[in-house]
Structure formats: structure tokens, C-alpha cells
A and B are shown apart, each in its own frame.
Chain A
Amino acid sequence: QKEVEQDPGPLSVPEGAIVSLNCTYSNSAFQYFMWYRQYSRKGPELLMYTYSSGNKEDGRFTAQVDKSSKYISLFIRDSQPSDSATYLCAMSRSGGYQKVTFGTGTKLQVIP
């Protein structure tokens, strides 16, 4: 079983929809939770990160962490065609440098 599980999609939504992307994980030691966005033929770029449980909002994006369920989510409000990309969740332990474990990514397509 992988430490981090992510539905590969693809997920197709109409422009303006609310998008929900999710990951589950098995390692309870994970404390940092990140979302990366990867456009086609580009490297991943950090979108958001949260520490431990709770929510974090940045513009149209909201990241949620539920450590009791080992479940993290990324919500995109008012989705735009420019949001079409692959979204990778990532997580690591705390304390000095810790290896980051990535999900396999969910491909999102926002249709105009």
C-alpha cells in the first residue's frame, strides 16, 4: 500500500464549478501537507501548504487537513480554464529536513 493515495482522474468540470481534490495517507507522522500544481510539460509548482490540521485559504483555493481521518482536500472555487492542470498532494514529517512524499496526481480539466 502506498503511503499517499490520490485518485488520478481525469476530472472534468465546467467553468465556474467548485472543484474538490483529495488525498488519503497512512503515515500518522506527517505534519506538513502541500499541494502542487503541474501544467503539461512543466515542473510542479507549490500552490499551498498547511501545517498539522485545519484550513488555509488563499484566494480561490482552500486547503483542508483532517488528521484524524488522514485525509486532505483542496477546493477550488469559481474554477477557470487556466486551472486545468495536474494537482499533486505532498506531505512530510516535521523536524529539520524531511523527505517529501508525493501523490500520483489528479488531472483536472476545466471546460469553458
Chain B
Amino acid sequence: DAGVIQSPRHEVTEMGQEVTLRCKPISGHDYLFWYRQTMMRGLELLIYFNNNVPIDDSGMPEDRFSAKMPNASFSTLKIQPSEPRDSAVYFCASSPHLGQGASQPQHFGDGTRLSIL
């Protein structure tokens, strides 16, 4: 089965440019998550969706960040305008819907390594 697919794998752009990261979750998974990983702060949850609806965006650092999920098989994370401090690895993950009280393992993509110059 195909896992979570992210694109691009690497992105290098100049400060002030718009950046769009893309994610295709595993088919049938109800939850989609966007994370940011840095050495200093580790893996931080930015936002998550349930059945394409944003549920919790409290981790989105600023209004420059936005995320959408127009359908069950596609999501985007956009940064506009980008800044050097946004440089990090951005991961998308998806999780199936499980019964009450069950664990909810997340399946991660291989990430987008973003560098803002």
C-alpha cells in the first residue's frame, strides 16, 4: 500500500516568497496532521483535520501559515510570506479512525525539507 506522500521533498526559496507544501494521506484515513520538526523544538503539531475539517490549528505559529484540505486525498500547507525562521522539516501524517479509547497510530510521510534564504 502507498504510504503518505509529500511533495516536494526539498524546497529552497528566498525570504518573502510563497511556499506550498503538499500531502496525500493514506486512503481511508480520517485524520490528517501537519507537523514541523526542528532540532531545538522537536516535532510540533501545527494543525490537524478530521474528515477534511480543520479541528485544531492552535499550533499554527502565525497568520502567515495556512492549511487546507479540499478533499480526502489532498492537503496543502502554505506559508506566505516565508521567513528564514520557517526553515525546518515539515511532515504530514495520517491516521485511521479508531474506536473510543483505542490508540491512534500516525503514519508519517518522509517530509519536506524547507530552507528559506
Query: Which residues of A come within 8 Å of B, CB atoms?
Result: 32, 34, 41-46, 49, 51, 88, 92, 94-100, 102-105
Contacts and interface: CB of A to CB of B under 8 A. Distances in A.
B43 A44 contact: yes
A43 B50 contact: no
Interface in B46-102: 48, 50, 56, 91, 93, 100-101
Given A88-B43, A97-B104, 10 more contacts: A34-B105, A42-B111, A45-B107, A46-B106, A51-B103, A94-B101, A95-B101, A97-B31, A99-B45, A100-B104
A72 to B, nearest CB: 14
Query: What class of interface size applies to chain B in its complex with A?
Result: 20 to 34
Is the contact region of chain A dominated by helix, strand, or loop, or is it mixed?
loop
Interface of B: 4, 31, 41-43, 45, 48, 50, 56, 91, 93, 100-101, 103-111, 113
A100 B106 CA distance: 9
A51 B111 CA distance: 28
